Structure 1
């Protein structure tokens, strides 16, 4: 029997049940009918959306904590965008603007930006402060920290 996973929709934030062997087959949300994976980083604009994606989704979530005024953040953004296309649907790629949602930066004690954090099963399992400059570096770092 094929395992089912909970995947939170990036559009309406509904939790969907998706067979693991169907993740790569462009699954859509049962509620809003939008694609569950877009190949682009998902902007998590508030704590509720962040918590839902990190806590409810059974796929890992890679989060870039960044700010619009941050030069290294802007430098890393194109590589992070490319990495999203490469990493999804194995994991969700998301961004949190620490200026817009400072409570999350405080909760996770983000001391420098950009900071990448990988969440698996609702827990932070790895953190990388500072910019990674290529999609390959970002993807390699994320994959290295995924559970086997």
Structure 2
């Protein structure tokens, strides 16, 4: 039986979850909160490495800003994708205005930009807002490379 190591988005604890049970709404062994809630996780400098650089699941990060029209328009598409794609991967949002060091770390030059990370390593990048079908296509292609 294979298992996945999944970092808790609330307390950062690493949780070992049987792969075939990942879709059964597992809770953290330390804080007892849900490991997945069907919504993108807000990333900050405080939780970025704990969530995006550890564990077995790929993390799809939407780099955005509140003043960006295309970012705001894409937000509902991204939010809806979280409920469909978890627990195959974690979806997260990073506000480039509030977290400029992380935006700089990834060389974000335009927003929105999507970056798929696997254990902190970039495996795919896409700039510009996507519709639901395009987002699904991007995710499937990125996961094939992971």
Aligned-pair CA distance for 1:47: 2.0
**Superposed, which structure 2 residues align to 1:1-148 within 5 Å?**
2-44=1-43, 46-132=44-130, 134-147=131-144
Alpha-carbon separation, structure 1, partners of 2:75 and 2:30? 30
Q: What is the TM-score normalised by the length of structure 2?
A: 0.94
Alpha-carbon separation, structure 1, partners of 2:13 and 2:132? 29
Alpha-carbon separation, structure 1, partners of 2:140 and 2:9? 21
RMSD of the TM alignment (CA)? 1.2
Stretch moving more, 49-58 or 106-115: 49-58
Aligned-pair CA distance for 1:122: 2.0
Alpha-carbon separation, structure 2, partners of 1:47 and 1:57? 18
Q: What is the TM-score normalised by the length of structure 1?
A: 0.93
Deviation per residue, 1:92-147 (Å, 9 max, x gap) = 00000001110011010000000000011321010000111x22321221111113
Aligned residue-pair number:
145
| Unaligned stretches of 5+ residues in structure 2 | none
